[in-house]
Amino acid sequence: MRKPTSTPTSDARIARLAQREHGVLSTSELRASGLTDGGIHWRARTGRLHRLHHGVYAVGHVAVGREGRWLAAVKACGSGAVLSHQSAAELWELTARCPGPIHITVPGHRKPRPASGIAVHRSGTLTCRDATRRGRIPVTTPSRTLRDLRRVLPREQWEAAVDRTRSRGIPGADAADEPPTHSALERRLLRVCRRHRIQAPRVNVRVGRFLVDFLWLERRLIVEVDGYEFHKERASFEADRARDAELAVQGYRVLRFTYRQVTGEPGRVAATIRRMLRS
């Protein structure tokens, strides 16, 4: 087998580029680095390049990480492709690891070649404002990712992703058009209020130096929900009581409900809130 012509300069360019690109390069990138088509094919036959998808190779070895697999899938789908849906949520750390195919969205006029392990979504609404890069990987923005997830995830999982976006300070959660809750327990209490036709409170707002869960400002009523995982230490318990006392001095009434009360006794919780709002 005759070795195609290549130079140390092209080898160095390929190595540097692969290091930046999570170990994966497209055919066009290899050509731009100085390889001919013959050089690419020879390296693939001799194990120096490893084909991941049509026109996309791992450089040096096939053991690329998750980021490399994501980027390889994006490159396999061509110009304008971005990581999306569950895969984008995993990259943004909004959800746990998602088994299954890698999700890629492409502009609606594109028809990428089918590839094993890639789920392609064609979108007529994908614009440059919906795309960004994270770790050099083209990906949908957090707001677009949340909009895509809303159509494919169970509601509880989608709401948890919105909560994670807000708690980590990632811009984009407001596009979800949901109250700014930070936990499943807060959402449960909102549903209790809606079910029992209680006036909607303001959610996660500041009262003085405190961030409170729910506020009915006109009635000077604050409701806090205490999940066990956040209030299991004595120090947290005592801090909550000191906080409630300071709010009382400012003229607010504070109600606290536990996870068990909100989930197991929603009618009693609603009746208590209603009585306080009427008093």
Say what the pLDDT of residue 176 is.
56
More confident residue, 62 or 81: 81
Pick the range with the lowest mean pLDDT from 49-53, 154-158, 181-185, 211-215.
Answer: 181-185
| pLDDT over 90, % of the chain | 64
Say what the pLDDT of residue 90 is.
96
User: Tens of pLDDT along 158-195?
Assistant: 888 888 887 777 776 665 555 677 788 888 899 899 99
Q: How confident is the model at residue 142 (pLDDT cuts 50, 70, 90)?
A: very high
Q: State the average pLDDT over residues 83-95.
A: 95
Q: How confident is the model at residue 54 (pLDDT cuts 50, 70, 90)?
A: very high
Say what the pLDDT of residue 276 is.
95
| pTM score of the predicted model | 0.71
More confident residue, 140 or 226: 140
User: Tens of pLDDT along 5-46?
Assistant: 555 678 788 989 999 999 999 999 999 999 999 999 999 999
Say what the pLDDT of residue 232 is.
53
- Average pLDDT score over the chain: 89
Domains and CATH numbers, the chain: 8-59 (no CATH), 66-176 (no CATH), 184-278 (3.40.960.10)
Rounded distance between C-alpha atoms, residue 251 and residue 253, angstroms: 7
User: Tens of pLDDT along 201-214?
Assistant: 999 899 999 999 99
User: Tens of pLDDT along 222-247?
Assistant: 999 987 554 456 567 778 888 999 99
Say what the pLDDT of residue 254 is.
96
Say what the pLDDT of residue 20 is.
94
